[in-house]
Structure 1
Amino acid sequence: MRLWGVVSSSSAKLATDKVNHIKTFDEIPGPRRFPVVGTLYQYKLPGWLGGHEMSRYHIALRDMHAKYGPLVREQRGDHALIHVFDPDDVKAVFSVEGKSPTIPPLQEATQFYRTKRELSLGLGNTNGDEWYRLRSAVHKMMLRPKEVSYYLPFVDKVAIDFMGRIEQECSKKDDRIVENLRELVGKWILESAGMICFEKRLGGFAENESLVEKMIAANKQIFIIAGELKLSLPLYKYFPTPRMKRFFDAEDFFYDHASKFIHETIQEIQNLAKLGKLDANRYNFLSYLLSRKELSEKDVAIITFSLFGDGLSTTTPTFLFNLYLLAKHPDVQERVFVEIERNLGKQGGIVTVDVLNKLSLLKAVVKEALRLYPNGTEVSRIIQTDLVLSNYMVPANTHVDLNQFVHFRSPQYFHDPDNFIPERWLRDEEVGESSKSVQNHPYLFIPFGHGTRMCAGRRFAEQDLHVGLTRMVQKYRLELADPSASQEMEQVYETLLFPKHPVRIKFMPR
């Protein structure tokens, strides 16, 4: 019988003594640890010496799971880190969380930057009462479907304009391939976020295109460098390093321009309020945050900044992988198109909440894309009580990374795991008799996290994805530029996981 559970600090030693198959923390297997660097050397060594490039961190995690088992210990400098791979252990970690789970910073380099710049740290870099204060203030606005759907007409309008920009790019070439697709998707995401946060267009497809391109490039640098710093000794904390200088430059550029949008909108809201002309149906997001007495203007700015910028490195890669998979599987794409036409009608129909609720196959496509190409490598926690995980004693205050993505292509949990089968996510009554099989462990596939620290922007991201894919499949038949290429799309680690190579697709008008 598998043993996992909570052991209080006072009884931890007694439990270990009495149950001899529970092993100690020091017995948790993992790569060899050296003084000062711990296990970080493995991200500097060449592959023929057993090392991994930083950009292949996700592959390193899969290799560690295969070599050492369900629980693996790393030592990054003086910082112990436990990789948790077994979904039963993930359940054990989540089962003891209170109302304010403790996490390490989502990006330690960003936390360092915001501290140095005397900015609010935001939801992803705080814990305890401070986190709970911020989370409580934004819960209604960001996590309730009804509140998020208020922005659906804005999101749909930007998506339609995005389709027009795709056509503009395609018309320049006979092959109808958009070479800068990642950047173009980023412009759409940022433009959509601007409508949600500021209810105005940024001009990313028009007069401000050059600025938006530079903001996208800066955001990309932020995530690449943050991923590299995560797998390096934190020397930047003690003296300025060239890499950290580049990081600060990129953060400054993105933050300064985003802040300009934020503070211009706040000023507009305050001016209209003074004149008694503030329409209750305008500036919904920022007006709500400003109305919360527990939030300072610093808090309002950083929360808005996070929602505005985070989609560039979360929604963008997920959307690209969805396009790739739909282009690779024209049979699935056609079934999605039929579903869209049945519920939305011909081009010109309005995307409503009711329409989106009926697009069950399209939503299953998004889930299946996240299974085959997960957006990230872990959900992180600092456990607040001693736990027995995979029969090892893990003491309180240990940093654990929940890396269950290593099972997303495992036949133990998924039928025909390497194949793209969106129907596996549909209810039986939606697909009839089917051999589909999907994991039934509730703590395996949780791409947006779990519990009170679930991704705060989840519903906005899902709305962007569903609307964007609806308009894309409605207007274009997606074809791979090189259908004869047998090599599957790979991922590259940039704090999150992106396509390793440009996604090259032909956009054929329907």
Structure 2
Amino acid sequence: MIIRNEMRRIQGLRQLSTLVANKTDKSLKTLRDVPGPLALPLIGNLYLYKLGIFKVDRYHKVLDQLRAKYGPVVRQSFGSETVVHVFDPDDARKVYQTEGKWPSVAPLQETVQLYRKKRGLSLGLGNQNGETWYRLRAATQQAMLRPSSVEQYLPLVNHAALSLVHRIEQEVGREGGEPRNLRDLVGKWSLESAGAVCFERELGCLDEGEGEKQAQLMVDANKLIFKISGELKFSLPLYKLVSTPKWKKLVQAEDLFFRLASKIVQETIEEIKKQDSSREQPKKKKFSFIGHLLSQSGLTSSDVDIITLSLFGDGLSTTTPFFLNCLRSLAENPEVQQKLRDEISGAVDLDGTLKLETFNNLPYLRAFIKEAFRVYPNGTEVSRILPEDIELSGYHLPAGTHVNLNMGVNFMSSEYFSEPEKFKPERWIRGEGDKIKQFVLTPFGHGARTCAGRRFAEQDLRVLTAQILKNFELKLLAGKPLEHVYETLLFPIEPIGVKFVPF
């Protein structure tokens, strides 16, 4: 009798739970109810960009407008593709928590994905999902994500940073000044530093010789690729059917970059093969990165090429613009600059050599970089394809929905940061800073699809910031606030208004 009553009670609770769930489901709004600008047949919201109501090169400002007008969840249509913008960190947390073992993403540049398909190349990590992505990720994890694997390149990365320091000294002279084409100089440093990791050799990207000529060609090609990719995102995808003029320009730039970079990859692979077949004692150079990739049975030769090329070239569009932002942040905040200089003084010798143990324990430097990401973000979204139905801010979104987590709209909000207008690295230091909501700032993404090159990028930024501060005082030149232009990612408009004064 007791057991029977207990079973009836449990059955009643289940029925009540079902009723509550059904009632909750009915109260939720659907994807169709998500607010957003009026979408027209076939072209969606693209007319707003074509008419100049929304500006493509200020897409980050468009997101601010959408958040202000429509709320925390907004629907936007790019032609036939619907994207749901998510602006609330709590909603971002829900998305991350449901993404599973194999999170699916939309490619940052659909044009790159198409180019690689047409050229018969591996699509790489960022352009694939599911089991294929997981295979590549598993094969590269040891070489790219373990701290010890990244730290072994520190002396080589430091040498590349010193090359840029010496080049800036030549540019500005003893009295100091703002270098011409600073973005290009930093871009060539990025290639030199990445080349130290990928190929364990000096490429001469800043030596004013043939190496620099080749590097400049790659820098220019990368600029064009990201600019055109950003423009094509806001146009009808006719380029997928016919070779439009913009598509032809993009293909030419992709071909140029791939040809020049792939040549270096193949030269390195040939040297590894000679080293492996030699009967002599192993040389000091180990080619750890490419050597590790070549040892992975799950990777094809095309996979090795694309993964290496991605690590080699991605800094041109990520680390390069962000470091320009860091320079501006230092010049705008001399007290922060001095505090950083005091911290790094014990980590860098007079000859520029880094003391590894001390250098890896510089909390204010790490906090500075994170604060610079907040004040001057260099991206607009983290993309996900929902693996299951989910409720976000009162809207029921079905599995398969493409969502963009656009947290940048919150970075200057007093709702999430105290005194958001102030540049305060201290807010990121445990025990000193704010209690910051989780997931409001994830510049490298989160979870299994965190940027694979994150540790290399962070090491590059810390090393170069330290060497710049060791050798220069940065002063803010008179001028207007730093503006950014959207070209798939966000790039500061030059000149950035920073004067380098040598010590």
Is the TM value for this pair above 0.5?
yes
Provide the residue aligned with 2:485 in structure 1: 492
Residues 152 and 352 of structure 1 are in contact (CA less than 8 Å); yes or no, is this contact kept in structure 2? no
- Distance in 2 (alpha carbons) for counterparts of 1:17 and 1:89: 22
**Whole-angstrom CA distance in 1 between matches of 2:239 and 2:139:** 33
Partner of 1:201: 202
Does residue 1:508 correspond to 2:470, yes or no?
no
Is 1:16–1:22's contact at 8 Å kept on the other side of the alignment?
A: no
Match of 2:261 in 1: 258
Task: Report what 1:477 is aligned to.
Answer: 473
Match of 1:96 among 95, 98, 109: 98
Note the C-alpha offset of 1:356: 2.2
Give the structure 1 partner of residue 251 of structure 2: 248
Cα 1:361/1:128, change in 2 over 3 Å: same
Q: Distance in 1 between matches of 2:21 and 2:481?
A: 48
Matched, 1:402 2:405: yes
C-alpha separation in 2, matches of 1:357 and 1:198: 24
User: For 1:458-481, what per-residue CA distance to the aligned partner results, in whole angstroms no more than 9, with x for missing partners?
Assistant: 000000000000000011111123
- Partner SS for 2:318: helix
Deviates more, 1:173-182 or 1:186-195: 173-182
- For 1:198-237, list aligned pairs within 5 A: 198-206=199-207, 207=209, 208-237=211-240
Q: How does 1:94-493 map to 2 (within 5 A)?
A: 94-171=96-173, 175-206=176-207, 207=209, 208-277=211-280, 278-279=282-283, 281-345=285-349, 347-428=350-431, 436-439=433-436, 441-482=437-478, 485=479, 487-493=480-486
Tell me the percent identity.
Answer: 49
TM-score (norm 1): 0.92
Rg comparison, structure with higher value: 2
Tell me, what secondary structure is at the counterpart of 1:478? strand
Alignment-mate amino acid for residue 58 of structure 2:
R
Find the aligned partners of 2:311 and 2:329 in 1 and give their Cα distance: 27
Check the 8 A contact 2:157/2:460 in 1, yes or no.
yes
CA deviation after TM superposition for structure 1 residue 422, in Å? 1.1
Query: 2:81 aligned with 1:79, yes or no?
Result: yes
> Could you report, residue by residue, the CA deviation over 1:384-439 in whole angstroms, capped at 9, with x for unpaired residues?
111111111101111110101110110001011011111111122xx5xxxx5352
SS at structure 2 position matched to 1:344: coil
Equivalent position of 1:8 in the other structure: none
Tell me how far apart the structure 2 counterparts of residues 252 and 91 of structure 1 sit (CA, whole Å).
Answer: 39
Contact 1:31 1:39 in 2 (8 A): yes
| C-alpha RMSD of the superposition | 1.8
Q: Partner residue of 2:9?
A: none
Q: Which position in structure 2 is the counterpart of 1:27? A: 33
Name the counterpart of 1:6: none
TM-score normalised according to structure 2 size: 0.93
The secondary structure found in structure 2 opposite 1:401 is: strand
Query: How many angstroms does 1:13 deviate by?
Result: 13
CA contact (8 A) 2:200 2:285 kept: no
The CA deviation string for residues 297-318 of structure 1, in whole angstroms up to 9 with x for no partner, is 1110000000000001100111
2:103 corresponds to which letter in structure 1? P
1:45 aligns with 2:51: yes
Instruction: Report the AA paired with residue 259 of structure 2.
Output: D
Q: Superposition pairs for residues 55-70 of structure 1, below 5 Å? A: 55-70=57-72
> Which 10-residue stretch deviates more, 136-145 or 173-182?
173-182
Matches of 1:462 and 1:210 in 2, distance apart? 27
1:120 aligned counterpart, secondary structure: coil
Larger deviation, residues 264-273 vs 454-463: 264-273
Q: Cα gap change, 1:480/1:157 in structure 2, threshold over 3 Å: closer, same or farther?
A: same
Cα displacement string for residues 438-489 of structure 1 (whole angstroms, at most 9, x for unaligned residues): 52x211111110000000000000000000000000111111232xx3x321
Q: In terms of mean alpha carbon deviation, does 174-183 or 94-103 score higher?
A: 174-183
Deviation at 1:279, TM superposition (A): 3.4
Displacement, 1:281? Answer: 4.5
Give me the whole-angstrom Cα distance separating, in 1, the residues matched to 2:306 and 2:284: 23
Pair 1:166–1:52, CA change in 2 (3 A): same
Gaps of 5+ in 1: 1-10
